[in-house]
Amino acid sequence: MQMLSRAWRHTLVRHATLAVLGLLVAVVVLMSVDDFRNRQLTELAYMALAAGGLTLLTGINGQISLGHGAFMAIGAYTTALLLQDPETALPLPLVLLASLLVALVVGVLVGVAAARLHGPYLAGATLTLAIAVPGIARYFSTTLGGEQGLRVTSPEPPAWFLDALFFLTGTEPSNSQYYAILGWTLLVVVFFLLANLIRGRVGRRWAAVRDDEVAAELAGINLARARVSAFTVSAAVAGLAGALMAIQIRLAAPTAFELTLSLTLLTAIVLGGLGTLSGAIIGSVVLVYTARIATDVGTAQGLDSIAAAELAPLVYGTVMILVILLAPAGLVGSLLRWRAARAARGADRRTTPPAARPTDPHHPDGPADQQRRPVATTKGDQP
């Protein structure tokens, strides 16, 4: 038991166990629900993936990006171009890798510029990106399909995959299940890698740069390098998410990557709590499902489809306002904060006996307490 708890403290053991368990649960769930649910869960996977990348950038490294949808677009269009002709199409893993790499390269370029910008200026620059990229897709209508976008010939599941799942579950997975399992596998693997980064030296540097630039620099951290690397990783993950999105919706079109997508991602990480990967998942769940549920409820209440669809932004907004009012650190962030505060109270109780606390100079209440003491007592203390 003790050995288990010691092993658990090791980052790799902890993250790998969570990843394997997560993957098992995901496969079981995905294999037991219908195609409709699988498509929803795929959407959840790519949204959570992109939100995880953004969490690292905004939550851990403190750089805001209003343009992460643009990196998703870059990944989606790369995938669409590579899968256009079924005859010459590359194998899927290579397509995904290529989408990731293209987004990564663009991420380096944008990151180098972003490293020099702060706060509202960075927000402005990334906003431009969110607006420009769909515009570029519209402009180059011959190669990128213009307003209609590019059709994506989504690949069929490979034979080994069908065999493996048939062996494991006794049923043949549908295409939707294939994409869903692909999406969740990518989500788990990428989050495993991101969690390692965040918990390790790299993430500590990112967070140090976020909290205090001068002090981070004094510790020997190259600010520009830390910022650019965070931006790059984040963009690459978004590119991968975009590739998955293109495969799922079988289309890469400008309308799918408008500013709303970027803002949705940002909303997701704020809802979940900045700076935690679990927050990114929970935020994405809230976003993907509140919209669906609101629309369903609206339709059930006899609203026509347009009015029902308009309920979603209303519920979105309400949830957002409630979270900011009631849990400003986000859903997961507030939970962690509550736990830290409880641990701190516990530590205080252990280090300072209750009787010693009022006069303890280390205790924040100490001096105030002394001031409240009557003057006579203070004089009496003097010999």
Partner 1 sequence: MPASDQVAHATPDPTSATPSATATPALELRDVTVRFGGVTALSAAGLRVAEHTVHGVIGPNGAGKTTLFNVACGFLRPDEGQVVRRGETLARLRPHRLASYGMSRTLQGLGLFDRLSVLDNVMVGADRHGRSGFLGTMLALPGATRDEDRLRERAMEALERLRIAEHARRYPPSLPYALRKRVALARALVAEPTLLLLDEPASGLSSEEMDELAALIGGLSGEMAVMLVEHHMDLVMKVCDRITVLDFGKVIADGSPAEVQQDPAVVAAYLGDDVADLDADTGPATDPATPTEA
**315, 294 contact by CB (below 8 A):** yes
Task: Output the six-digit token pair for 300.
Answer: 């059930």
Closest distance of CB 266 from partner 1, Å: 19
Q: Residue 362 interacts with partner 1 (CB under 8 A)?
A: yes
Q: Report in angstroms how near the CB of residue 207 gets to partner 1 at its nearest.
A: 6
Q: Which is nearer to partner 1, 11 or 305 (CB)?
A: 11
Distances (CA, A) of 207 to 60, 65, 93, 335: 5, 16, 32, 20
49 binds partner 1 (CB under 8 A): no
3-class DSSP string for 324-335: HHHCCCCHHHHH
Length of the chain counted residue by residue: 383
For 193, other C-beta atoms within 10 Å of its C-beta total 14
Output b/e per residue, 130-158; b: 16+ Cβ within 10 A: beebbeebbeeeeebbeeebbebebbebe
| Pair of tokens at residue 317 | 């907004």
Site for partner 1, residues 259 to 298, rule: CB under 8 A: 275
Contacts of 109 (CB under 8 A, 6+ apart): none
Helices marked H in the chain: 2-8, 11-32, 35-54, 68-83, 92-114, 119-139, 141-144, 159-169, 175-199, 201-211, 213-218, 223-249, 259-272, 277-300, 305-326, 331-351, 366-372, 375-381
Please identify, among the stretches 70-78, 153-161, 206-214, 283-291, the one whose residues bind partner 1 according to the rule CB under 8 A.
206-214
Is 369 a residue that touches partner 1 (CB under 8 A)?
Answer: no
**# binding residues, partner 1 (CB under 8 A):** 42
Under the binding rule (CB under 8 A), the answer on residue 339 touching partner 1 is no
Q: Which stretch binds partner 1 (CB under 8 A): 153-161, 207-215, 242-250, 317-325?
A: 207-215
For 358, counting Cβ atoms within 10 Å of its Cβ (0-12 exposed, 13-18 middle, 19+ buried), the class is middle
171 lies in the site for partner 1, by CB under 8 A? no
Contacts of 281 (CB under 8 A, 6+ apart): 48, 51, 52, 191, 272
- The reply to whether 379 sits near partner 1 by the rule CB under 8 A is no
Tell whether residue 237 is a contact of partner 1 (CB under 8 A).
no
Cα–Cα distance between 67 and 262 in angstroms, integer? 5
Binding status of residue 205 toward partner 1 by CB under 8 A: yes
Residues from 77 through 106 that contact partner 1 (CB under 8 A): none
Q: Of the candidates 341, 342, 349, 359, which one interacts with partner 1 according to CB under 8 A?
A: 341
Partners of 365 in the beta sheet?
Answer: none
Work out how close the CB of 196 gets to partner 1 at its nearest, in angstroms, rounded to a whole number: 4
User: Could you say whether residue 37 binds partner 1 (CB under 8 A)?
Assistant: no
The residue (of 299 and 352) whose beta carbon lies closer to partner 1 is 352
Smallest gap from residue 344 Cβ to partner 1 (A): 5
Least distance in Å: CB of 221 to partner 1? 6
Say what the alpha-carbon torsion angle 5, 192, 290, 183 is, to the nearest 10 degrees: -130
Decide: 72 and 246 in contact? Cβ < 8 Å: no
Contact between 215 and partner 1 by CB under 8 A: the answer reads yes
* Span of 37-45, 134-142, 308-316, 345-353 interacting with partner 1 by CB under 8 A: 345-353
* Binding of residue 353 to partner 1 (CB under 8 A): no
Question: Nearest distance from residue 225's CB to partner 1, in Å?
Answer: 9
The pair of structure tokens assigned to 178 is 């294939």
Give yes or no for residue 307 binding partner 1 (CB under 8 A). no
**Can residue 212 be called a binding residue for partner 1 (CB under 8 A)?**
yes
Q: Does 363 bind partner 1 (CB under 8 A)?
A: yes
- Asked if 359 interacts with partner 1 (CB under 8 A), we say no
Considering the complex, state which of residue 248 and residue 276 has its C-beta at the smaller distance from partner 1.
Answer: 276
If the CB atoms of residues 302 and 364 are measured against partner 1, the closer one turns out to be 364
196 binds partner 1 (CB under 8 A): yes
> Contact positions toward partner 1, by CB under 8 A?
10-12, 15-16, 193, 196-197, 200-205, 207-208, 210-212, 214-223, 229, 275, 340-341, 343-344, 347, 350-351, 361-364
